[in-house]
Amino acid sequence: MGMSVGESKGSAMAEMNVVPLIDILLVLLIIFMVITPLTPKGLEVLVPQPNLAAENLVPIRTIVVQVLADAKTDGSMLKINGENSTWESLGSRMDQIFRDRAEKVAFVKGDNDVLFTDVARAIDIMRGAGIDKVGLITSKLEAGQ
């Protein structure tokens, strides 16, 4: 707060010094401008895109590993894009599929009655095979909800 002496009748007149207040506001403005881009905006989610091209012309880009709740007669509990597979061959099959691909993204779909440990095992094997991003497909996502 500053004081200035008025010329009329020798009285003192008090007026507020706003320079420090403006300095503080400018510093706060700069701080908020720096912090704002660092705030998280949401979760990164991978959603499979529909295959618009004909299947004969372009190979299938989206790889979906389906974990089945019950073992089939041939012992398979997995399907890779509809093709029967086993736990033992999942890692080598993923290596074979993603060997020539730059984008290493795959999805896991579990039946309603499947145990979470089986889904986690599939994710672990896929991550061990070098797949960078593994997404999950739910029944609601398939239904378009």
* pTM higher than the cut 0.85: no
Segment 12-48, tens digit of pLDDT: 777 878 888 999 999 999 998 888 776 666 666 677 6
| pLDDT the model gives residue 85 | 85
* Total domains, the chain: 2
Query: Residue 58 domain-assigned?
Result: no
Please indicate, yes or no, whether residues 69 and 138 belong to a single structural domain of this protein. yes
Give me the CATH number covering residue 109. 3.30.420.270
In a domain, 82, yes or no: yes
Same domain, 70 and 139: yes
- On whether both 32 and 74 belong to a single domain, the answer is no
- Mean pLDDT of the region 118-139: 86
Could you tell me if 80 and 126 lie in one domain? yes
Residue in 55, 123, 64 with CA at minimum distance from that of residue 97: 64
Per 3-state DSSP, what percentage of the chain is helix, strand, and coil (rounded to 5)? 35, 20, 45
pLDDT at 2: 56
